[in-house]
Structures are given as C-alpha cells and as structure tokens.
C-alpha cells in the first residue's frame, strides 16, 4: 500500500507579505476551491480528488488555518481577496469555487 499523498503543497505570498499555503491535486485547467470560515483545505479533499482528473485543483488554507499564515494586522475581506489574487497570479487559474 502506498503512503503517497494525492496532492503536492505549495505557497504564495499575499500583498501584505503573509504566506498562503495550498494543496494542489491533478493536472489541467486551474480551479481554486475556497473553503468556508469553519473549515480548512482538508475539508475539500474528496471534492478536489473527484475533480483532479479534469483540473489542477488548488485548495488554499485561509489565514489562521493549516498551511495559511497568521491573520495579521488589518485582517478582513480585503486581505482575503488579496490572498486569492496572489494564488491566481501564481497559478494562472481561471476558475474559482467559493
């Protein structure tokens, strides 16, 4: 039995310098899955696996969770948007499910 993970991990740096980690599943056109406030990237593992035959699925950990950096100063919706914009710029993903 293989212990290989079905994903790789990576990170991007948001506009304010915060590191935003993510898990990447599969290959194909980029799709970013954004979890809700009471979840982490692991909440989307099954969905990411199901989509990974057709997409490169990127599942970031939002700030304060898993691979995500700390909330930091001036945390709010604007920082969250900057985090996703950073991931889009790095991956070229054109699809988003939030």
Q: Set out the domains of the chain in order of their start, with CATH numbers.
A: 8-97 (3.40.50.1820)
The partner residues of 95 in beta bridges, in order of sequence, read 31
For residues 84 and 96, the answer to whether their CB atoms sit within 8 Å is yes
* Lowest mean pLDDT segment, chosen from 19-28, 43-52, 64-73: 64-73
Q: Is the pLDDT of residue 2 over 70?
A: no
Q: In what helix (H) or strand (E) does residue 13 lie, and over which residues does it extend?
A: strand 8-13
pTM: 0.89
> What's the rounded Cα separation, in Å, for the pair 54 and 77?
30
- Per-residue pLDDT, averaged over 36-52, amounts to 86
Q: Is the pLDDT of residue 36 over 60?
A: yes
* Lowest mean pLDDT segment, chosen from 2-6, 42-46, 59-63, 67-71: 2-6
């Amino acid at each position: 039995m293989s212990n290989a993970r079905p994903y790789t991990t990576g990170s991007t740096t948001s506009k304010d310098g915060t590191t935003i980690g993510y898990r990447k599943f599969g290959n194909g056109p980029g799709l970013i899955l954004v979890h809700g406030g009471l979840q982490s990237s692991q909440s989307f593992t099954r969905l990411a696996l199901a989509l990974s035959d057709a997409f490169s699925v990127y599942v970031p950990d939002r700030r304060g969770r898993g691979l995500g950096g700390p909330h930091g100063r001036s945390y709010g919706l604007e920082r969250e948007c900057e985090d996703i914009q950073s991931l889009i710029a790095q991956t070229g993903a054109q699809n988003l499910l939030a």
